[in-house]
Chains A and B, each alone.
Chain A
Amino acid sequence: SQKIEQNSEALNIQEGKTATLTCNYTNYSPAYLQWYRQDPGRGPVFLLLIRENEKEKRKERLKVTFDTTLKQSLFHITASQPADSATYLCLGGSNYQLIWGAGTKLIIKP
């Protein structure tokens, strides 16, 4: 079946380091991937979109890559801060199909 998989274990990172989150897709070829941030008890908030013909996208301290050979997207937060602690969700999209990953909880320790 078509799947988007994210690491279900929480990721603990020391403040100031780079946090890297992974999104793998199986039996699916998304035309684009989106990354969202979700804080407890809140709806997700859009962060970045990357299309299948793009290798990398950046926005301030955020960077996302899309590797169609590995069927994987990596999401990086550089110079991480405790305020970056949240759950990060990956969404794969094609024309009329959207598949969400379950999210990875990121904890940035001071």
Chain B
Amino acid sequence: DVKVTQSSRYLVKRTGEKVFLECVQDMDHENMFWYRQDPGLGLRLIYFSYDVKMKEKGDIPEGYSVSREKKERFSLILESASTNQTSMYLCASSLPTGMNTEAFFGQGTRLTVV
């Protein structure tokens, strides 16, 4: 069974903390994505990566960074957490975009910054 696994389902962090969200996929996919999802706004792309050590900014990269040292792992880093980063974070992976295949999502991490 193919899988995208996020390290935590729920996380509570304090303002100013550095936060790491980890994502691992076992499908040997080239593409990996980090989204945040807020009510009424849908999925918004933070960053994506199309290869190891490669990354591209999405629509809302401010306050975030990413790391992809290995093909199966894509990490999202909140450099200094703020309350407006309280959200549901979703990681996804897929084959290269030009093949227009489906995205596989993790179960999500609900992050609360207090």
Contacts and interface: CB of A to CB of B under 8 A. Distances in A.
Q: Do A and B bind each other?
A: yes
Interface of A: 8, 31-32, 34, 41-46, 49, 51, 89, 91, 93, 95-96, 98, 100-103
5 contacts: A41-B110, A44-B105, A49-B100, A91-B103, A93-B97
Contacts of B107: 42-43
Interface string B74-114: 00000000000000001010000110111111111010000
A96 B97 CA distance: 6
Nearest to B105: A43
A2 B41 CA distance: 15
A51 B100 contact: yes
A103 B45 CA distance: 15
A85 to B, nearest CB: 18
